[in-house]
């Protein structure tokens, strides 16, 4: 489901729902594991503590309490929603309850998501090796050039690697490369400086515009408050196989890179 814009939209929604009330002692774990085991004992440390803020690092959400951070990753199908006791759905795995009645439910049909606990996010194994956020200066020409040196992976796969930059997934990689005019399959060591600059700008632009639109809703993604995103209506290449390019009317091609569907215009992207 979620790339950076969707996770950021969820984060904002969660923060709006939170009222600085303490977590109460009826955390409901419907199962002990998702992709990995859930550290239920550690998460129970939240009980009695307020959640002061919800942060985002890449595609991870971090619920900040005075004693540590609940970490959640939405994987492909994870979601958070405010739900009362009567609103129970299949694949509801975890409920975070607050004094005052707010109940936040984590649902994840495919269970590729993650629930974890971090005393200190800076040294947490899942977070410590993540690359830069796309909107910071670290995500720049110098870094990309040096990481790309001597490597032949397709530029799209490279952009989707969290060590390179966080938050860019399958949709936005295709969309950004279209805007940058670079073919997704281009070996990364053959991307020129000017193209890197265009790619950096395009990644930022497409993520920013999508956040503004509340993310992309395909299939069933909604934010924490239940609202759809709108960015899917402005896709220029993603999921537009054999439709016409919005710039030159060439038919959009679908290919497979790294096992993932990839979309590009063979005339606009070289």
The residues annotated with a catalytic role in the active site are: 2-3, 59, 260
- Please count the residues of this chain forming the interface with DNA, following the rule CB under 7 A: 41
* 223 is a site residue for DNA (CB under 7 A): no
Which residues, including other chains, have CB under 8 Å from residue 70's CB and lie 6 or more apart? 43, 46, 51, 62, 63, 96, 115, 116, 117
* 110 is a site residue for DNA (CB under 7 A): yes
Pick one of 65, 216, 223, 269: the residue that binds DNA (CB under 7 A): 216
Strands 60-65 and 28-29: unpaired
Asked if 162 contacts 58 with a C-beta cutoff of 8 angstroms, the reply is yes
Which residues, including other chains, have CB under 8 Å from residue 31's CB and lie 6 or more apart? 38, 93
112 vs 135, which CB is nearer to DNA? Answer: 112
* 3 is a site residue for DNA (CB under 7 A): yes
* 131 is a site residue for DNA (CB under 7 A): no
Pick one of 11, 56, 73, 186: the residue that binds DNA (CB under 7 A): 73
* 48 is a site residue for DNA (CB under 7 A): no
Site for DNA in 78-97 (CB under 7 A): 90-91
Tell me the H-state helices in 95-154. 141-148
Pick one of 17, 24, 27, 76: the residue that binds DNA (CB under 7 A): 76
- Number of neighbouring beta carbons within 10 Å of residue 103: 17
Q: For residue 19, give both structure tokens.
A: 């009222």
CA–CA distance, 5 with 231 (Å, rounded to integer): 9
151 vs 267, which CB is nearer to DNA? Answer: 151
* 246 is a site residue for DNA (CB under 7 A): no
CA–CA distance, 5 with 255 (Å, rounded to integer): 24
Query: What residue ranges bind DNA (CB under 7 A)?
Result: 1-3, 6, 35, 58-59, 73, 75-77, 90-91, 109-112, 126, 150-154, 160, 162, 169-171, 188, 215-221, 229, 258-261
């Amino acid at each position: 489901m979620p790339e950076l814009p969707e996770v950021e939209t969820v984060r904002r929604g969660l923060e709006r729902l939170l009222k600085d009330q303490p977590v109460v002692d009826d955390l409901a774990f419907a199962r002990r594991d998702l992709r990995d085991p859930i550290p239920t004992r550690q998460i129970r440390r939240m009980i009695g503590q307020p959640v002061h803020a919800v942060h985002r690092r890449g595609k991870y959400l971090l619920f900040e309490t005075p004693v540590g951070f609940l970490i959640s990753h939405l994987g492909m199908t994870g979601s958070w929603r405010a739900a009362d006791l009567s609103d129970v759905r299949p694949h509801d795995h975890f409920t975070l309850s607050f004094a005052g009645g707010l109940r936040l439910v984590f649902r994840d049909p495919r269970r590729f998501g993650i629930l974890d606990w971090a005393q200190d996010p800076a040294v947490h194994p899942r977070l410590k090796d993540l690359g830069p956020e796309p909107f910071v200066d670290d995500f720049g020409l110098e870094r990309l050039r040096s990481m790309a040196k001597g490597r032949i992976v397709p530029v799209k796969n490279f952009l989707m690697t969290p060590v390179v930059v966080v938050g860019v997934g399958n949709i936005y990689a295709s969309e950004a490369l279209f805007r940058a005019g670079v073919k997704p399959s281009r070996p990364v060591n053959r991307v020129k400086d000017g193209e890197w600059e265009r790619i950096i700008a395009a990644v930022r632009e497409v993520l920013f515009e999508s956040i503004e639109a509340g993310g992309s809703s395909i299939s069933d993604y909604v934010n924490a408050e239940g609202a759809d995103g709108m960015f899917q209506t402005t896709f220029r290449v993603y999921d537009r196989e054999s439709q016409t390019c919005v710039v030159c009317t060439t038919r959009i091609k679908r290919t497979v890179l790294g096992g993932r569907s990839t979309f590009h215009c063979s005339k606009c992207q070289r």
